[in-house]
Amino acid sequence: MNKQKQQKKLISLLIILAMALGLAACGANAPSASGSGTLPTVDPSGAEIIVPEEIDSIVVMAPSIAETVVALGYGDKIIAYDISSMGLEGLPENVPVFDLVEPDMEQLVSLKPDLLLVTNLSLYDESNPYQQLIDLGVCVACIPSSDSIADIQSDIAFIAAVLGESKKGDALIAQMQVEIDEIVAIAQGITEKKTVYFEISAAPYMYSFGKGVFLNEMIELIGAENILAGEEGWLSVSEESVVAANPDVILTNVNYIDNPTQEIMERSGWDALAAVQNGDVYYIDNMASSLPNQNVVKAMRQMAEAIYPEYYGK
């Protein structure tokens, strides 16, 4: 019963994520100009913001954002976060925790943080759910889910700018790019591209992605081909379509079952797949491959080493 509940919750979050990618903003629309000040005046969603000169209290409503805030040295300023961020390194314990999709607005108001960082997953069905906080003088900045590496880097730069730490943000992005460039340089020498199926939700609710998702971009930069690259965005996948594509390699970041790679290897009708026959089914770190922030390079390296050990192996 617990597994069924976990699976249903996962599918709901995946559907919300897919919907969120199509939404433009968390707050009211605003002109795209960023103003002449050193602090941002427009967030990535296009909403106008007023960033305080001093930020002593932060609430983060997404684990991807939480990891970036911590990496920039502001973990000790976080006074609350979403439930999905629980357990992340660098976050304080014994602080309020909120539901990611529908946070307790009354409790948020009582905290009155200097800065609230959200994505378009929170209260996604409302046009401006945080107006009450904005009216109280809280800076609410929305960072919609990114679908490319360039957008992820832009989000890091924005968060750093809001915190007044642009130099730290530049350094974080530069290190990220160095690691990506190293992988891309190796990929240029790969002439025979392998086909890949990347599973983010296991059977019977199989889920993956096509083009327009940063994970697909990562597969291509490694020098491989996503079997679903002809489709768009986050996808519900049929077993028949994977079997028909016969991928060379299967990757999974499913972490809610005991042994996701073994489950794939033992699926009925999958024993004829090249990936299964050759044992080329691998687990990729769930957090690094799920959260659009600087840590995607960790997942990218794992993916590269799994797909092409002869090129990327240590």
Closest CA to 84 of 65, 68, 69: 65
List C-alpha distances in Å: 57 to 52, 63, 115. 11, 17, 7
Closest CA to 227 of 191, 207, 184, 198: 198
List C-alpha distances in Å: 225 to 51, 182, 307. 42, 19, 10
Question: Among 99-103, 122-126, 279-283, which is the least confidently predicted range?
Answer: 122-126
Gap between the Cα atoms of 104 and 191, Å rounded: 53
Helix ranges, the chain (H): 2-20, 63-71, 105-111, 131-135, 149-162, 166-187, 214-222, 239-245, 260-265, 274-277, 286-290, 296-307, 309-312
DSSP 245-257: H--SEEEE---SS
User: What is the pLDDT, as a whole number, of residue 110?
Assistant: 96
pLDDT tens, residue by residue, 216-257: 999 999 999 999 999 999 999 999 999 999 999 999 999 999
pLDDT tens, residue by residue, 5-52: 444 445 445 544 444 443 444 544 333 333 334 899 999 999 999 999
pLDDT tens, residue by residue, 62-74: 999 999 999 999 9
Question: What is the token pair recorded at 67?
Answer: 């990891």
Closest CA to 122 of 207, 65, 49: 65
Gap between the Cα atoms of 148 and 146, Å rounded: 6
